[in-house]
Amino acid sequence: MSDAAAPREGVRPSVAVLDYGSGNVHSAVKALIAAGADARLTSDREEILAADGLVVPGVGAYRAVMEALRASRGDELIGRRLAGGRPVLGICVGMQVLFGRGVERGVDTEGLGEWPGVVTELDAPVLPHMGWNTVEPGEGSRLFAGIENERFYFVHSFGAQQWHLQVQPPFPSPTLTWCTYGAPFLAAVENGPLSATQFHPEKSGEAGIRLLSNWIGGLRAATL
């Protein structure tokens, strides 16, 4: 980004929260504002492409979220941002759809394919996985800097339980954060401009605000 486009000192980074009809996402906007962003819920194409960061929320069934994304051309906007190295953060099903496929109760749905792999039902005796849980951040995680031992709020029955992407030098390896509920699953991924959390930062109290603040801090660094 040119110097002319960089934010002035003290100006909050702009964050677009993608509005494509996926449930009540106003709590995410409020949490982002509390974390230091100028956050807005929007479906405006130019605003989404121009924002310093894009948040992709998601609740409900994998197929329903994918259908809503495609109907609103949200999938194109995510792809365009990532092609230009522009930061994107997926939350909950907004993380799940970044993988190649989702299989829910026999329904197989093609995802965005930013990462290879399939989202499947958790291998746990009781579902959904709902409530607070600890995570195991990958070494050098920026999202979890200073909050490595905190608990975060989950509500889901499906998740990515394996990681298949192989990255060759000079590209850095993604930072993977795992959680265990019955069996291990991915709680968060940091992969260049693309990050995602299976839990809800906006429902995770102070720890969630700090995680969002860490992500927003990366937006500041990227635009200076």
* All structural domains of the chain: 13-223 (3.40.50.880)
CA dist., res. 83 & res. 78, Å (int): 9
Q: For residue 117, what pLDDT is reported?
A: 97
Mean pLDDT of the chain: 93
- 87-105: average pLDDT: 97
Candidate list 129, 164, 200, 206, residue with the active-site label: 200
pLDDT band at 194 (very low <50, low <70, confident <90, very high): very high
The closest alpha carbon to 54, from 84, 24, 34, belongs to 84
92 counts as catalytic: yes
**Of 154, 128, 166, which Cα lies nearest the Cα of 208?**
154
Q: How far apart are CA 9 and CA 51, in angstroms?
A: 17
Residue 122 and residue 120: Cα distance in Å, rounded?
6
For 133-154, how does the pLDDT look when each residue is reduced to its tens digit (9 = 90+)?
999 999 999 999 999 999 999 9
Distance (Å, whole) CA 215 – CA 88: 10
Reply yes or no on whether 179 is catalytic.
no
Greatest CA span in the chain, whole angstroms?
A: 55
pLDDT at 59 over 90: yes
Question: Residue 180 above 90 pLDDT?
Answer: yes
Assess whether pLDDT exceeds 50 at residue 4: no
In the residue annotation, 76 being an active-site residue is answered as no
9 pLDDT more than 90: no
Name the active-site residue from 114, 150, 190, 202: 202
Contact 197, 187 (CB under 8 A): yes
Q: Residue range 159-180: average pLDDT?
A: 93
Query: CB neighbours (10 Å) of residue 86?
Result: 21
Name beta bridge partners: 197.
91, 188
pLDDT at 171: 83
At 3 the pLDDT is: 33
Distance between alpha carbon 164 and the CA centroid of its chain, in Å? 18
Q: Is 9 exposed, middle or buried (0-12, 13-18, 19+ CB in 10 A)?
A: exposed
* Contact assessment for residue 212 and residue 29, using Cβ atoms and an 8 Å cutoff: no
Tokens of 80: 């365009």
Q: Which residues contact 13 (CB under 8 A, 6 or more apart)?
A: 7, 36, 37, 38, 52, 53, 216, 219, 220, 223
The residue annotated as part of the active site, out of 46, 47, 92, 121, is 92
DSSP 157: S
Residue 223, pLDDT above cutoff 70: no
Tokens of 214: 């860490």
Number of C-alpha atoms within 13 angstroms, CB side, residue 117? Answer: 19
**Stretch 178-207: mean pLDDT, rounded?**
98
pTM of the model: 0.93
CB 148 within 8 A of CB 159: no
